Amino acid sequence: MLEQLKEEVFQANLELPKQGLIKYTWGNVSGIDREQGLFVIKPSGVSYDNMKASDMVVCDLQGNVVEGKLNPSSDTPTHAVLYQRFSEIGGIVHTHSTWATAWAQSGLDVPAMGTTHADTFYGTVPCARFLTQEEIDRGYEAETGELIAETFKEREIDPLEVPGVLLHGHGPFTWGKTPSSAVMNAVVLDEVCKTNFVARQLNSYAEELPQRVLDKHYLRKHGKDAYYGQN
Amino acid sequence: MLEQLKEEVFQANLELPKQGLIKYTWGNVSGIDREQGLFVIKPSGVSYDNMKASDMVVCDLQGNVVEGKLNPSSDTPTHAVLYQRFSEIGGIVHTHSTWATAWAQSGLDVPAMGTTHADTFYGTVPCARFLTQEEIDRGYEAETGELIAETFKEREIDPLEVPGVLLHGHGPFTWGKTPSSAVMNAVVLDEVCKTNFVARQLNSYAEELPQRVLDKHYLRKHGKDAYYGQN
Amino acid sequence: MLEQLKEEVFQANLELPKQGLIKYTWGNVSGIDREQGLFVIKPSGVSYDNMKASDMVVCDLQGNVVEGKLNPSSDTPTHAVLYQRFSEIGGIVHTHSTWATAWAQSGLDVPAMGTTHADTFYGTVPCARFLTQEEIDRGYEAETGELIAETFKEREIDPLEVPGVLLHGHGPFTWGKTPSSAVMNAVVLDEVCKTNFVARQLNSYAEELPQRVLDKHYLRKHGKDAYYGQN
Amino acid sequence: MLEQLKEEVFQANLELPKQGLIKYTWGNVSGIDREQGLFVIKPSGVSYDNMKASDMVVCDLQGNVVEGKLNPSSDTPTHAVLYQRFSEIGGIVHTHSTWATAWAQSGLDVPAMGTTHADTFYGTVPCARFLTQEEIDRGYEAETGELIAETFKEREIDPLEVPGVLLHGHGPFTWGKTPSSAVMNAVVLDEVCKTNFVARQLNSYAEELPQRVLDKHYLRKHGKDAYYGQN
């Protein structure tokens, strides 16, 4: 079942330690087949050294296991809800990468302070609030997904234009058209958190990027007038 | 004697440089056989490049060498006391890893500011005070162990729920059910010190994790209702 | 065409990830043949893993492609203008390296605080302002080159003595007599931004290097009385 | 001539990039044969990739080349003076390692804030002042050596007990009984500067190590009552 997607999700998971985003098993990547309404995700707590493509678990959009011998990532319900709420995304990544996690612990949004940010995120990356006791009781992981969707709706952010979020006190979720682009967005978000941290320490009055520069950089890589790359 | 434990302790020691926790020989891991009341520890000041499993030293709970041609780690009496005072632990790690050591030099406790912390440590990781001259004269290394045990007792912390400590001006000790889990706890503590440092620099008013989130994350990985991983 | 220069530019591009200056494809190096008035540059958005020397693109000084199957870097017009304005340089590098980018986001110039700086940059490395809307409309990349040239002219800085610049909110450009020396200057600028950051955090009153030490270090490596190295 | 010492100095030089202390050729190690009154040092500006043991240059204590086809390190006169003034040292290292260089740029001494420091340096590592114009004119490199010796004499520091120094706005020099121990001291000094930096940022009131802990840690590794290691 979904052998090609399993391979793709497996390779995207291997990219996490290679890019320095995770230690041990502190991360997970999934990818979805929209036609079948099924997504493939890393198993829970399995060492990356021993993991095989065939260990990937297939789930439906309610987060139920459809195929696989291993338990899926404990964050599976978050992925399921995000695939439901954000209908155009194809892959999701969660890590505890150092700089994005540190920023998440600060409880602050990540402003667009540089073009590295603008090349990928079209504006501020929001930091979602802590879950309430009621939400935790109802189901921590699924409610995390609902909170992310709620945050983007309330703040009128398009999840394709800003393909990531921080969870206060926790860490980042990123997404993309594919599992591998979701991983790249995770790399960018971590790097942006690092450079913004240093910039602010150097100069607490450091400005955000002017809207005109944000527009220019985002739009030269995304949308109908893009002219970056080979396409 | 204890060949399997020697291999396990040897491998856990090799994990220290691999995880970036130590340079040269600045660290040591031990593991205990509770039935025999003997523990195995790295020899003192031996290069990791040349070390073999058979170089591991066997000691009794008074810290006396029972088997081995080499001197055990100079921190052996600390390990011996910790095995006596914390009767359920199976492995101990000491390093001078950068971020945990820096935090230890600040003299501050490590508050639970994120879920990376909560996944492993059920609350604040304490920073134990400097030893007094009297304690140093009585035996620096053994008294370090006594101080750690005293700190956990006075502050009513369960050493299995908070499997690590900082020593003011020195660095971290961590422990676990096994030598390898003690190493993983050392990795987590170092990472937590790094992310907390950055979070506090970004926002000096950054909050600690609410108790409800701390509970949720710790208890989904530990105890009878845990649902993380494959068990 | 220009096979040797293509190889040189290709190798200099490979040096960027090797030196930790870039992730993915976030950088570009070019080199010029002054006699033919043509320069060679990395193609846009091509993975470093698959890139070959023959993928390098040949452009004229107006930034038009003269030879090559792939699109040149989207920053090509910046390179073209710099080769026009700075007639003695032979290679140009652009990266989003962490520390230089963070400094660029702070909007501050990089003062000469240490001899690592003085060995390569004879004084302050300027931070150029944001482009105006009018400049962006006229052509973002070419105007970036004009802005750099304007900055050096207005501030009366010799581009051979200070072979690099920061662009506010963006990142560094560096140059040199050859593509590989331009890469080395990019490494130095990133390192200098890191050490200056730490020095200022440690001591906000930290002094700039006295002129006499700046002179000594720069001049023992550059110019007619240099005595560093094997020449 | 001195083939064994050349090999030892060569290996110690290779250790610099391996330990992350240098990039390119920004460092040098030397070692002395006290009986012959000759020292061996790295050639100037030679790439570490191509360097061979036979490229090492032999100099006398006035810094004159006695054997070797290549120019010795431009810092050779500093090494020569240090060997003259500090009669018991056997090896010297100079780097621009990130954290020690940043600290040197702050112009501050490095206080003993942790036991990593105390295991190697018996007290504060001094930061020597900028050279005067007169000193630079007299001979920058030799006067740097004189300044280091003067700093230790005026402040009554034993160079064997504190085997390193920072030069304001420049970087560290360390030394030891052998070239390889001088490299290890360079690693320790860089690490100590990093951990102290973080500790001070976390807590600007962070205390220095009490004298009793400094004594204990230094003396358990050094001197007649040492009990660390296998001797």
Domains of chain C, residue spans = 3-221
Q: Which residues pair with A165 in a beta bridge?
A: A173
Comparing CA positions, the residue from D11, D1, D226, D2 lying closest to residue D119 is D226
**Cβ of residue A20 closer than 8 Å to a chain B Cβ:** no
pLDDT-derived band at C50 (thresholds 50, 70, 90) equals confident
Structure tokens at B170: 């020195």
Per-residue pLDDT, B49: 84
D116/B74 Cβ within 8 A: no
Length of chain D (residues) = 231
pLDDT reading at A44 higher than 90: yes
| Cβ distance of D207 and B107 shorter than 8 Å | yes
- Report the pLDDT value the prediction gives residue A2, as an integer from 0 to 100: 96
Min Cα separation D108/chain B (Å): 18
Can you read off the two tokens belonging to residue D171?
Answer: 């970087």
Catalytic residues of A: 119, 228
The answer to whether residue A25 scores a pLDDT higher than 90 is no
pLDDT over 70 at B101, yes or no? yes
H or E element at residue C65: strand C65-67
Question: pLDDT tier at B182 (50, 70, 90 boundaries)?
Answer: very high
Residue C230 at interface with chain D, using a CB cutoff of 8 Å = yes
Label residue C225 by pLDDT band (50, 70, 90).
confident
- Mean pLDDT, to the nearest integer, of D60-76? 96
Cβ of C195 within 8 Å of Cβ of D24? The answer is no
Q: List Cα–Cα distances, A84 to A63, A129, A149, B118, B221, in angstroms.
A: 11, 21, 10, 29, 27
Give the model's pLDDT for residue C231: 67
Of all residues in chain D, the percent with pLDDT exceeding 90 is: 92
Select from A181, A175, A164, A173 the least CA-distant residue to A221: A181
Task: Answer yes or no: is pLDDT of B231 > 90.
Answer: no
Asked whether the beta carbons of B197 and B101 are under 8 A apart, the reply is: no
Q: Per-residue pLDDT tens for D113-128?
A: 999 999 999 999 999 9
pLDDT value of residue A161:
98
- Under 8 Å between Cβ of C180 and C10: no
Measured distance CA(A117)–CA(A96) in Å, rounded: 19
Q: Is the pLDDT of residue C198 over 90?
A: yes
Answer whether A228 sits within 8 Å of C26, measured CB to CB. no
Write out chain D residues lying below 8 Å of C212, CB-based: 131-133, 136
Report the pLDDT averaged over residues C12-23: 96
DSSP chain A: --HHHHHHHHHHHHHHHHTT--STT-EEEEEEETTTTEEEEPBTT--TTT--GGG-EEEETT--EEE-SSPB-TTHHHHHHHHHHSTT--EEEEE--HHHHHHHHHT--B---SHHHHTT-SSPBPEEPPPPHHHHHHHHHHHHHHHHHHHHHHTT--TTTS-EEEETTTEEEEEESSHHHHHHHHHHHHHHHHHHHHHHHH-TTPPPPPHHHHHHHHHHHSSTT--SS--
C98-107, C144-153, D48-57: segment of lowest average pLDDT: D48-57
Which of D213, D216, D218 to probe by mutation at the B interface, max B CB count within 10 Å? D213
Mean pLDDT over the full length of chain A: 96
pLDDT at B47: 87
Summarised one tens digit per residue, pLDDT across range A106-131 is 999 999 999 999 999 999 999 999 99
Q: Could you tell me the two tokens for C78? A: 């910046």
Residue A225: the pLDDT is: 87
In this prediction, the answer to ipTM > 0.90 reads yes
State the nearest Cα–Cα gap between D65 and chain C, in angstroms: 14
Contact B172, B95 (CB under 8 A): yes
Confidence class of residue C171 from pLDDT cuts 50, 70 and 90? very high
| Site from B119, B181, B195 to mutate, A interface, most A CB atoms within 10 angstroms | B195
CA distances from C8 to A68, A213, C2, C84 (A): 50, 33, 10, 21
Q: Which residues does chain B have within 8 Å of residue A200's beta carbon, measured at their own beta carbons?
A: 202
Each residue's pLDDT tens digit, D147-156: 999 999 999 9
**pLDDT tens digits, residue range B125-156?**
999 999 999 999 999 999 999 999 999 999 99
- Average pLDDT, stretch D79-90? 98
Residue to substitute from B25, B98, B101, interface D, most D β-carbons within 10 A: B101
Q: Which residues contact A127 (CB under 8 A, 6 or more apart)?
A: A103, A104, A106, A107, A108, A109, A110, A165, A166, A167, A168
Separation CA D222–CA D231 (nearest Å): 11
The whole-angstrom separation of Cα A161 and Cα A122 is 5
Going by C-beta distance under 8 Å and a sequence separation of 6 or more, which residues neighbour residue C123? C112, C157, C161, C162, C214
* Domain at B3-221, CATH class: alpha beta
Mean pLDDT of all residues belonging to chain D: 96
Give the least confident one: A157-161, A188-192, C99-103, D227-231: D227-231
Is the predicted pLDDT of residue D181 greater than 70, yes or no? yes
Containing H/E element for C150?
helix C133-154
Q: Which residue has the tokens 């001899």?
A: C115
CB atoms near residue B124 (< 10 Å): 15
